[in-house]
A and B are shown apart, each in its own frame.
Chain A
Amino acid sequence: MSPRGPEVATDRPLVIANVSRRQFLQGVSAAGGFVLAAGFSSVATAADPPKYGRDGMPNGWRDDPLVFVSIGEDGIVSIVCHRSEMGQGVRTGMPMIVADELEADWKRVRVVQATGDEKRFGNQDTDGSRSTRHFFDPMRRCGAAARTMLEAAAAAKWGVPVSEVEAKNHEVIHAKSGRRAGYGSLAKAAATQTVPARETVKLKDPSKFRYIGKGNLKLVDGPNIATGKAQYGIDTRLPDMVYAVVARPPVYGGKMTSYDAAETLKVPGVLKVVEIEPSPEPAQFNPLGGVAVVAKNTWAAIQGRRALKVVWDDGANASYDSAAFRAQMEESARKPGKVVRDNGNVDTALAGAAKRLSAEYYIPHLAHAPMEPPAATVRIVNGKAEAWACVQSPQAARDLVAKRLGISADDVTVNVTLLGGGFGRKSKPDFVIEAAVISKAMDGKPVKVTWTREDDLMHTYFHTVSVEHLEAGLDAQGKPVAWMHRSVAPTIFSTFVAGAKNEAALELGMGVINVPFAIPNVRIENPEAEAHTRIGWFRSVSNIPHAFAVQSFVAELAAAAGRDQKDYLLEVIGPARRVSPEALGDTWNHGESPEQYPVDTGRLRRVVETVAREAGWGRKLPKGRGLGIAAHYSFVSYIATVVEVAVDDQGVVTVPRIDVAVDCGATVNPERVRAQMQGATVMGLAVATLGEMSFKNGRAEQQNFDTYQVTRMSGAPRDIRVHVLPGDYAKPMGGVGEPGVPPVPPALCNAIFAATGKRIRSLPIRDQLKA
């Protein structure tokens, strides 16, 4: 069985990924049949200030066609995808951008997955809904530059001016003479052409796009997935490989005191137990430590771990109880906290208001629960480590494996497999480091570490837990004149910096500080909250609690004012205008330039109006049914969602239909944009209706899908309609992977209010409506 990642198997001598440039150049002369291998344009790295967007990411971006594109003499075009595929369709979308500019025929394109090597490929950290918006331009230039080189090669061959030839659908054509040459026949000569300077590369006019924006291509990995051939992190098989599972401290910050492996070693197939040293808090990306059981197969390892007797020292979080902690957070939310934004005078406005309202919203910890739990394989040969892993951030995995093994990152290769779901969990390479540590203890033997579902749920980097306290004052006409929001939630930074207790700019910038409402008096506060478990980012992150609170509260104000929820939401958003994030106190702005990416209330209005129209807002519904709406700006995209809910006499909630309007700017693959919105909607429903990770005695109480429930077929809407607004390729793009999630819980709860008059302020809904 091949130890390779998910790259498309090819017997052609042209795969340029996984080899250094020098090897690549040597490989050309050796293999003969290569390609685009001559000039080497200057490597584009992040420019000096301003460092926003792709420029602000570690290792920036690259647009070198020699790194990303290769063409064989057989005409097969190989395009490197340097971002991780976790279901967002990036292995189809990224190469599609290159192929379109290259005028390549998609049927003759192969996708090659990059190893973790940011110096070579630019930033590979696949999170933050960033891949397309950060790499659309560099990938276009890659394809266009390669196309230019093919045209130059053809013109030289025919002795005609380059202006007379044109690349079209995998061949270069000289219209005057009727001559044509396929890409394969030109590959070698194109390789001797100089890579054109970046400024001179001529991009296609978007009206000429064949793939970009069309949604007309099938998924690159579709056939392999449907036939069981697709390779995920958990599927790696190497000669002499052994299998491990790890007993980890059940409480965050705990450590192993002693263990007895006598029974473990009697389990047939068990080979060895290996201690993994604990990581002091904050754990960062380090393994939690514990005892690994190594065996001849996964089942034997699991059985061996079951027989292991470990005494744990639970440490400082031994008494973490999420119910008690909720009460503590509520207390904090009712007292003043750190003021992070202050416009006008909220206290005076509240005192003078005709009507005052206050509400608190709660969302518990959540676990990502990707269907593929974390899994990684590492082997160490002659001091060099090689990993196969389902990682969102292969460079981080590479650097940290190197650090832990005490070797240079140059001596670590991280092969990126397909990810069976990521959702932020697989940004953290702790599981890869575990495999490296165990491999080292096994004299470098290939070791596959598999996390069981119990491991995944008990030891993930949990979505934070939050209490959001809001107060508002309405004038005599019901218009809001004051808005006060206190957000209380342990910060992600607690996992990286000891004692961090306040939300960081990136958390505040996820829909609490940067609400662009037309309200004169606004104060946002952030009381402290201490973390008692390992907090991490979960698809759409702090936007989930913030959008739930803000969009529920706006609906509550509408009800108090006796107004239609959608009309009132539009009024609160106010007229179309471009608001500087800085004016809202948001210094983060999803990492993007405040000039290029202001908060555009016109776009927010437009998605609200679109989804309302498409969903038939105001239509008559039978008893027990209701419509709810919510809109949220995140990852520099604008989304509005309408949920239609049905609540029966027993209080059972079903969702027959959801409409989503998305303005993410121009799209590369609108078909996948729709898929992401459909999926995000279902995940949002899981958050709203079922999701909760609770803690008792420091331990997560849910350990598998019987108690940590997620949405299934029977609970999913049968009808999800996604309305993708048109965009302009000349304008900055927005994110897609995450922003579909946050509007769903408030839209659902607003719909429930419309259907029943009952207001849900604490998630999950579970059986709160049951009689």
Chain B
Amino acid sequence: MTSVTVNGRRYDVDLPDDTPLLWALRDELGLTGTKFGCGMALCGACTVHVDGQPVRACVTPISAVGTSKVTTVEGVGADRVGRAVQAAWVDLGVPQCGYCQAGQIMSATALLKRNRKPTDADIDEAMSGNICRCGTYVRVRQAIKQAALGASR
């Protein structure tokens, strides 16, 4: 039995230690907001925060999470920056299919929490691990800038 703390709540999960956090979240805890996209940390769809750091849940075994605090897209709105990012996403109509957007939002929030005024180059660096096949990148960039303003107000 492993314990994980997700969005401020502690869960016991009865899964092998090497089970990726992604599948524990989705299949065991029913937190399906975190998405499967590649299983190899190549696309960013499964991005969550572990102690505030953006992490690819598909390659993070639950045993490696330990006592760290996991935040998913379902919980990131509790944070002021996360909420500003979500609001900018809705306001600018960033999503198309929306499937990758949980990962985009988690990466964007992590970026803004460590860098309140990211440049275009900062955004490229922080966001290029997150694939959007619908091609919403122009609006993702715009929303990050808008959220940066909103969060700093």
**B9-25: contact bitstring with A at CB < 8 Å (1 yes, 0 no)?**
00000011001100100
Sorting the interface of chain B by its residue count into under 10, 10 to 19, 20 to 34 or 35 or more gives: 35 or more
A165 smallest CB distance to B (angstroms): 36
| Bound CA span A421–B131, Å | 12
**A218-236: contact bitstring with B at CB < 8 Å (1 yes, 0 no)?**
1101110111111110110
**Interface residue B140 (Cβ < 8 Å from any Cβ of A):** yes
Chain A contacts of B127 at CB under 8 A?
A: 713
Sorting the interface of chain A by its residue count into under 10, 10 to 19, 20 to 34 or 35 or more gives: 35 or more
- A-B CB pair tally, cutoff 8 Å: 191
| Bound CA span A228–B99, Å | 9
| Bound CA span A762–B89, Å | 37
| Bound CA span A691–B133, Å | 12
| Bound CA span A718–B124, Å | 10
B95 smallest CB distance to A (angstroms): 5
Closest to B27 in A: A297
Which residues of A approach B to under 8 Å, CB–CB?
Answer: 1, 85-89, 218-219, 221-223, 225-232, 234-235, 237, 243, 268-269, 297-299, 302, 368-373, 418-423, 450, 452-453, 671-672, 675-676, 678-683, 686, 704-706, 710-714, 716-720
Q: Say whether B95 contacts A226, CB under 8 Å.
A: yes
Choice from A268, A269, A672, A682 contacting B137 with Cβ under 8 Å: A682
Of A227, A230, A419, A704, the most chain B CB neighbours within 10 A belong to A227
Which label, helix, strand, loop or mixed, suits the secondary structure of the B interface? Answer: loop
Which label, helix, strand, loop or mixed, suits the secondary structure of the A interface? Answer: loop
Query: Given the known A-B contacts A299-B20, A706-B42, A713-B123, are A420 and B99 also in contact in the complex, defined by CB atoms under 8 Å?
Result: yes
4 new A-B contacts at CB < 8 Å, known A370-B99, A712-B129, A713-B141: A678-B138, A706-B42, A713-B124, A714-B124
| Bound CA span A587–B116, Å | 58
Q: Say whether A227 contacts B19, CB under 8 Å.
A: no
Chain B contacts of A234 at CB under 8 A?
A: 32, 35-36
| Bound CA span A716–B33, Å | 26
| Bound CA span A59–B123, Å | 48
Q: Say whether B73 contacts A87, CB under 8 Å.
A: no
B2 smallest CB distance to A (angstroms): 13
Chain B contacts of A88 at CB under 8 A?
A: 96
Closest to B107 in A: A713
B3 smallest CB distance to A (angstroms): 18
Choice from B28, B87, B101 contacting A225 with Cβ under 8 Å: B101
Closest to A217 in B: B93
Closest to A302 in B: B39
| Bound CA span A258–B77, Å | 51
Chain B contacts of A675 at CB under 8 A?
A: 93, 96, 136, 139
**Interface residue B70 (Cβ < 8 Å from any Cβ of A):** no
Q: Say whether B20 contacts A372, CB under 8 Å.
A: no
| Bound CA span A40–B123, Å | 55
Chain B contacts of A419 at CB under 8 A?
A: 97
**Interface residue B148 (Cβ < 8 Å from any Cβ of A):** no
B residues 115-145 touching A (CB-CB < 8 Å): 120, 123-125, 127-141
Query: Given the known A-B contacts A297-B23, A371-B43, A704-B40, are A226 and B86 also in contact in the complex, defined by CB atoms under 8 Å?
Result: yes
Chain B contacts of A218 at CB under 8 A?
A: 90-91, 93
Q: Say whether A717 contacts B138, CB under 8 Å.
A: yes
Closest to A721 in B: B138
Chain B contacts of A228 at CB under 8 A?
A: 31-34, 72-74, 102
**14 CB-based A-B contacts, threshold 8 Å:** A85-B97, A222-B95, A225-B101, A227-B73, A237-B32, A368-B133, A371-B133, A421-B97, A453-B43, A682-B132, A705-B38, A705-B40, A713-B137, A714-B128
Closest to B96 in A: A87
Q: Say whether B98 contacts A230, CB under 8 Å.
A: yes
Closest to B129 in A: A712
Interface pairs A-B: 10 shortest CB-CB: A228-B33, A682-B135, A420-B99, A87-B96, A87-B97, A225-B98, A228-B73, A679-B135, A297-B27, A299-B23
| Bound CA span A678–B20, Å | 34
Choice from B120, B129, B131 contacting A371 with Cβ under 8 Å: B131
B115 smallest CB distance to A (angstroms): 15
Query: Given the known A-B contacts A227-B33, A228-B73, A268-B16, are A372 and B99 also in contact in the complex, defined by CB atoms under 8 Å?
Result: yes
Q: Say whether B93 contacts A222, CB under 8 Å.
A: yes
**B64-107: contact bitstring with A at CB < 8 Å (1 yes, 0 no)?**
00000000111001000000001101110101111111100100
Closest to B38 in A: A453
Query: Given the known A-B contacts A228-B72, A421-B97, are A297 and B28 also in contact in the complex, defined by CB atoms under 8 Å?
Result: yes
Chain A contacts of B34 at CB under 8 A?
A: 228
Closest to B120 in A: A718
**Interface residue B45 (Cβ < 8 Å from any Cβ of A):** yes
Q: Say whether A418 contacts B139, CB under 8 Å.
A: no
Chain B contacts of A373 at CB under 8 A?
A: 36-37
| Bound CA span A487–B147, Å | 49
Chain A contacts of B20 at CB under 8 A?
A: 299
Query: Given the known A-B contacts A225-B98, A299-B20, A450-B36, are A671 and B93 also in contact in the complex, defined by CB atoms under 8 Å?
Result: yes
Q: Say whether A712 contacts B86, CB under 8 Å.
A: no
**Interface residue B30 (Cβ < 8 Å from any Cβ of A):** yes
B65 smallest CB distance to A (angstroms): 15
| Bound CA span A767–B26, Å | 39
| Bound CA span A344–B14, Å | 75
Query: Given the known A-B contacts A268-B16, A683-B133, A718-B120, are A452 and B39 also in contact in the complex, defined by CB atoms under 8 Å?
Result: yes
Chain B contacts of A706 at CB under 8 A?
A: 40, 42
| Bound CA span A174–B133, Å | 51
| Bound CA span A680–B98, Å | 15
Chain B contacts of A720 at CB under 8 A?
A: 138
| Bound CA span A500–B89, Å | 46
B130 smallest CB distance to A (angstroms): 7
Closest to A228 in B: B33
| Bound CA span A546–B100, Å | 31
Q: Say whether A711 contacts B35, CB under 8 Å.
A: no
| Bound CA span A531–B138, Å | 37
| Bound CA span A235–B138, Å | 27
Closest to B16 in A: A268
Chain B contacts of A369 at CB under 8 A?
A: 133
B37 smallest CB distance to A (angstroms): 5
Chain A contacts of B129 at CB under 8 A?
A: 712
Chain A contacts of B42 at CB under 8 A?
A: 704-706
B74 smallest CB distance to A (angstroms): 4
Chain A contacts of B125 at CB under 8 A?
A: 714
| Bound CA span A89–B139, Å | 15
Q: Say whether B138 contacts A716, CB under 8 Å.
A: yes
| Bound CA span A373–B129, Å | 18
| Bound CA span A61–B82, Å | 43
Chain A contacts of B134 at CB under 8 A?
A: 87, 371, 421, 679, 682-683
